[in-house]
A and B are shown apart, each in its own frame.
Chain A
Amino acid sequence: MNEQREIKISVPVLTRVEGEGALDLAIRNGRIEQLQLRIFEPPRLFEKFLEGRSYAEVLDIVARICGICPVAYQMSASHAIESVFNTEPGPWVRAMRRLFYCGEWIESHALHIHLLAAPDFLDFKSAIEMAEKYPQEVRRGLRLQALGNRIVRTFGGRSVHPVGARIGGFFHAPAKSIMSELLAECRDLLPEAESLVRWVAGFDLPVDEQEFVSVALHHPEEYPFNEGRIIASDGLDIAIAEYHNHFREIHVPHSTALHGRYFPNGYTKEDEGIPYLVGPLARVNLNREQLPLAVRDNLAAAGITFPSRNMFHSIVARAAEIHFALLEAIDLLEHYESCNTPYVDVTPRAGIGYGCTEAPRGILWHRYELDEQGQLVSATITPPTSQNQARIEQDLKRSLEAFGLDHCDEELKLHGEKVIRNYDPCISCATHFLKLKVARE
């Protein structure tokens, strides 16, 4: 005799993520039969209205894809367009782009750790509630976030949709006196970044070892921001222009984001590909040896070892990257010289260019085709969250089963949200929030 039990639950929007999405769960006989991370952020069709625009307008447009990581969009686009024009902006611009990016990593990671993720591990609904019990820690997070924003603002006038970057470099070079003040502030917060890593490493993080492929940029001489080759934990090592040979976005019906899939042996239509991970954990897993000794020692003292197969070590990786970005910013600021030519002039020409840089949430890949006036013929933009979406679904399925489907719906929902938030999904980027619907049979 078959006992049929059907329970339907609808839980409203998932909080503390960027954007809008929902989670649909169908459970039958104690197993997850169907699981969909549904993204219903409306598509905003950026790739289409880039067509016909001049190269000079691109950075102000692509920034608007995401309020949290506009710098990443500007950097990937700059590199892609400059590669078409054969532009080499030189060492000053290269260094300052790293500094600009340090600001965005610090701001985005600090926001995610304190305002979005930490309440999950300390049992609060929001950071504002958490601030009553952990005032020092929340204040430290807000200070780090403010510092990251200040670095971005130094170049861009504001931290959201900054206006300072241009193809070929920057519109202006900050005065040395401003950079000295910034340096003092970075040094001041360095001990805070060190203790942040130990704080998050001390959370009661679930132990959840799993198999996944990490994908990140890799540069022979440094921890990656703007340049490098795309590598994977299974040994893949390709130029960014070869991305589409191994990575494709597939449109799944339940989402307005496109799902990223990895094809280890090369893309074929017949193959479905496999999920993969981008972002802080993937980056640290693949580039840990390029982290400064101080960051590695601090992690060792905190008792966390990378590479790690525990997805919940993402928050530790994120904190370690704040520590790294602060050290990197200090180094760059110590060697700062102002510059009369903060950009190089470009000569438009026709061609196809690729840009791939490490956004706070992972690799952000752009491809542009330009005509001889430097106007866009076509644009393809692959944000980190759409690449991670298949991986999030895969993780959710096994995590919820491991957690135990006999838990009540509220507990399942909380655990599911915790798993999702751990990826720091930016659904605004992937196009953007969560409603949980559980159907039990």
Chain B
Amino acid sequence: MKSKVAVHKFSSCDGCQLAFLNAGEALITLSGLVDIVHFAEAGFLDEATEVDIAFVEGSVSTPQELERIKHVRASSRFLITIGACATAGGLQALRNMHDAGAWIDGIYAQPQYIELLADSTPIREHVKVDLELWGCPVNTRQVLTAVRSLLFGVPPVEEVDKVCLECKRQQTVCVLVAKGEPCMGPVTRTGCGAICPQVGRDCYACYGPAESANTASLANRFEGLGLQPEAIARRFLFINNYVEPFNAEGRKWQEKKS
């Protein structure tokens, strides 16, 4: 019998689901290898059936989502978060450092109809997660590799190297050393293919923190490059702002400014 797969969406931009929808021919191949049971954007709607692999996109940011993630966990053997929102709370977790209620009052004329939790949080804060795929967004290679590994019955390999190593492998000129750009590569997890330095710009850490990331040292280097404390804080408090060590490093520099 074919393994059953589900793709669930929580608070997000839909960009990580595109890792499947942009897969081209591989999407058709995948649908031959597994039974896609739930994937609303692709037209499959069945959140109740038990599945072998559940992919979760998006962060938990409403009372309804908090309930729904528990049901998803209960009906899934292996739960994989995809992307910065599900894995780290997402860019929208920036609101966790503010009074989101006041923000909503400022945007919506009838804020009483907006139901929102105070914080936007990663899936792991609410249920057990079996594998986290980082990236904003994750790419097709990451999600298909995970499915393929699991179908072979082996645990998927986690990428924990730094973007720097990927640049070295590709022989890309270092933008931090050569151009003095405040590149986040030294503390950021690889998996993206080091695409920012390839186009000559600084990495902005959309794949989250690498293993044993020395954020303090990098932040000091940024200061040496002439960045103001608040600009340094903003480097860490960005796409993966809610996760450590980025959150602590960012807050540290935020306090320095005041």
Which residues on A are within 8 Å of B, measured CB to CB?
A: 12-20, 40-49, 53-54, 57, 60-61, 64-68, 70, 107, 111, 115-116, 119, 125-129, 131, 138-139, 142-143, 145-146, 149, 156-161, 163-164, 166, 170-172, 250-254, 256, 258, 426, 428, 432-433
User: Do A157 and B28 form a contact, CB below 8 Å, given A65-B13, A66-B14, A164-B199?
Assistant: no
Decide if A251 touches B108 in the complex (CB within 8 Å): yes
Instruction: Kindly list chain A residues whose C-beta atoms are within 8 Å of the C-beta of B95.
Output: 45, 48-49
Decide if A44 touches B196 in the complex (CB within 8 Å): no
* Total B residues in contact with A, Cβ cutoff 8 Å: 64
Pick the most buried of B41, B42, B61, B196: most chain A CB atoms within 10 A of its CB: B41
Which residues on B are within 8 Å of A, measured CB to CB?
A: 9, 11-19, 21-22, 24-25, 27-28, 31, 36, 40-45, 47, 61-62, 64-65, 90-92, 94-95, 98, 100, 103-104, 106-110, 113-114, 116, 120, 136-137, 139, 192-193, 195-196, 198-201, 204, 206, 231, 234, 238-239
User: Do A142 and B137 form a contact, CB below 8 Å, given A15-B41, A157-B193?
Assistant: no
Decide if A48 touches B107 in the complex (CB within 8 Å): yes
Name the residue of chain A whose CB is nearest to the CB of B136. A161
Decide if B116 touches A49 in the complex (CB within 8 Å): no
User: Do A42 and B43 form a contact, CB below 8 Å, given A54-B234, A67-B14, A172-B200?
Assistant: no
Instruction: Kindly list chain A residues whose C-beta atoms are within 8 Å of the C-beta of B137.
Output: 67, 158, 160-161
Name the residue of chain A whose CB is nearest to the CB of B193. A157
A136 to B191, CA, bound (A): 33
Name the residue of chain B whose CB is nearest to the CB of A432. B14
Q: Pick from B62, B108, B238: contact of A42, CB below 8 A.
A: B62
Name the residue of chain B whose CB is nearest to the CB of A67. B15
Q: Pick from B22, B40, B199: contact of A163, CB below 8 A.
A: B199
Decide if B239 touches A119 in the complex (CB within 8 Å): no
Decide if B11 touches A44 in the complex (CB within 8 Å): yes
Q: How far is the CB of A238 from chain B (nearest CB, A)?
A: 24
A67 to B17, CA, bound (A): 9
A49 to B237, CA, bound (A): 11
Of the A-B pairs whose beta carbons lie under 8 Å apart in the complex, a sample of 25, sorted by A's number, is: A13-B40, A16-B40, A17-B41, A20-B9, A40-B62, A41-B11, A42-B61, A42-B65, A45-B104, A47-B107, A49-B95, A57-B234, A67-B137, A68-B15, A126-B44, A127-B43, A128-B31, A128-B43, A131-B31, A156-B195, A157-B192, A157-B198, A159-B22, A256-B114, A428-B12
Decide if B113 touches A142 in the complex (CB within 8 Å): no
Name the residue of chain A whose CB is nearest to the CB of B97. A49
Instruction: Kindly list chain B residues whose C-beta atoms are within 8 Å of the C-beta of A172.
Output: 199-200
Decide if A49 touches B40 in the complex (CB within 8 Å): no
Decide if A43 touches B104 in the complex (CB within 8 Å): yes
Name the residue of chain A whose CB is nearest to the CB of B25. A142
